[in-house]
Amino acid sequence: ATRIVLASRPSGRPVAANFRLERETVPDIAEGEVLLQTLYLSLDPYMRGRMDDAKSYAKPVEIGDVMEGGTVARVVGSRNTAFKTGDTVLSHSGWQSYAISDGTNLRKLDPETAPITTALGILGMPGFTAYAGLRNIGKPKAGETLVVAAASGAVGSAVGQMAKIYGARVVGIAGGPKKCEYLCKELGFDAAIDHHSNDFPAELAAACPSGIDVYFENVGGHVWNAVFPLLNDFARIPVCGLIAHYNEGSSVLSGRDQLPAAMRAILRKSLTIRGFIQREFADQRPDFYHQVGAWISEGRLKYKEDIVDGLENAPEAFLGLLEGKNFGKLIVRVAS
């Protein structure tokens, strides 16, 4: 069996040496336990936060511990009456090829209803993040303009398509012409703007002639700076992620200070800005599975997965995620 542990904490941008591949024998299971073989590992931006020991909404990964992560796994041994060999489950076993579980927090997946990788993306945590952030905070109305950042990614692509279903005009922000073309041609966004373009703020303004009513924030940094002056009165801003700052640690607090301007606009424009972590809305998950499952089968919601082969390639793929190299929900195929 193989596993990838946190070898050291990064300062700033993580590097390959922050991870270490280890080999071990496949463990035995005790009464009540199941042995899981990882099929797919989800790579997600929040993992950057777990590499730091700063105080956050979740505990950091300790040095020498297996990197945390959501997985789709096959039960290959069971001494737990609730699971049998051959079951496919959603687990949180981390960056390792085998894991032991006592069965708590495992969710059985039915490979007949949806491809099992969707449990890590559109029908999993990222899809639910989009759904919960829109339903509880963004609340787009027909005719309003919604802008979403990291728009071709796991969360952003779902946000934009759901907002279209709710009747909003949707403008996506993404890195590079290929991602932008995908948003308009494949996902039906009304416009897509490349945040690497020299004229990015002006292009965004031109794409939002009636201003912005909902801004689904996934990025921060220069993207927020371009969005900020375009916000309409009473705009709603689900603050979901700030990936542009994840490598900055606490130095972000001393960067070019936009805060006074932001606070003034919050007051004068009566803005509602609200951060959230998706699990706060966990009681809405049954609605989510029902609604989003239906949208997928009706062809109203599409999704794109970026699948990398081999657990040993997880660190490089994760470093790429922090630089926009992924195109779609990033998933590692650990075994088939």
Contact 252, 245 (CB under 8 A): yes
The yes or no reply on residue 305 touching ligand NDP (CB under 6 A) is: no
Q: Does 277 bind ligand NDP (CB under 6 A)?
A: yes
- Choose, by CB under 6 A, the member of 131, 214, 218, 304 that binds ligand NDP: 218
> Which residue's CB is nearer to ligand NDP, number 75 or number 193?
193
* Total residues found in the chain within this entry: 336
Q: According to the binding rule CB under 6 A, does residue 153 interact with ligand NDP?
A: yes
| Window contacting ligand NDP (CB under 6 A); options: 67-75, 94-102, 261-269, 323-331 | 323-331
Q: Cα(18)–Cα(12) distance, rounded to whole angstroms?
A: 12
Residue with tokens 């080999």: 23
Q: For residue 33, how many C-alpha atoms fall within 13 Å in the half-sphere facing its CB?
A: 10
Among residues 314, 210, 232, 248, the alpha carbon closest in space to that of 52 is found at 248
Nearer to ligand NDP, 75 or 244 (CB): 244
Minimal distance, residue 274 CB to ligand NDP, in Å: 11
Answer whether 322's CB lies under 8 Å from 14's CB: yes
Would you count residue 160 as binding ligand NDP (CB under 6 A)? no
Torsion over CA of 222, 226, 227 and 229, rounded to 10 degrees?
130
- Nearest approach in angstroms of CB 118 to ligand NDP is 14
Per-residue contact string for residues 73-112; x = within reach of ligand NDP by CB under 6 A: ----------------------------------------
* 292-312: burial string, b at 16+ Cβ within 10 Å, e else: bbebbeeeebebbbbebeebe
Residues facing 216 on adjacent strands: 148
- Residues 24-53 interacting with ligand NDP (rule: CB under 6 A): 44-46
- Backbone conformation region of residue 270, classed left if phi is above 0, alpha if psi is from -120 to 50, else beta: left
Using the contact rule CB under 6 A, the part of the chain among 99-107, 272-280, 282-290, 295-303 near ligand NDP is 272-280
Residues with Cβ < 8 Å from 46, sequence gap 6 or more? 58
**Distance from C-alpha of 300 to C-alpha of 149, rounded to nearest angstrom:** 21
Residue 187 in contact with ligand NDP, rule: CB under 6 A:
no
Which DSSP state fits 217?
B
Q: Which is nearer to ligand NDP, 46 or 289 (CB)?
A: 46
How many residues in the shown chain lie near ligand NDP by CB under 6 A? 33
Q: Which one of residues 124, 175, 201, 315 is an interface residue with ligand NDP (CB under 6 A)?
A: 175
Bridge partners (DSSP) of residue 257 are: none
Comparing C-alpha atoms, which of 244, 311, 320, 327 is closest to residue 66? Answer: 311
Residues in 127-146 at the binding interface with ligand NDP, rule: CB under 6 A = 129
By CB under 6 A, residue 219 contacts ligand NDP = yes
Q: Residues 171, 214, 230, 321: which binds ligand NDP (CB under 6 A)?
A: 321
Which listed range, 58-66, 91-99, 199-207, 318-326, lies at the site for ligand NDP (CB under 6 A)?
A: 318-326
Any contact of residue 203 with ligand NDP (CB under 6 A)? no
Integer-rounded Cα radius of gyration of the chain: 20
Residues that bind ligand NDP in the complex, under the rule CB under 6 A: 44-46, 126, 129, 150, 152-156, 174-175, 179, 195, 218-219, 221, 223, 240-241, 243-244, 276-278, 321-324, 326, 329-330
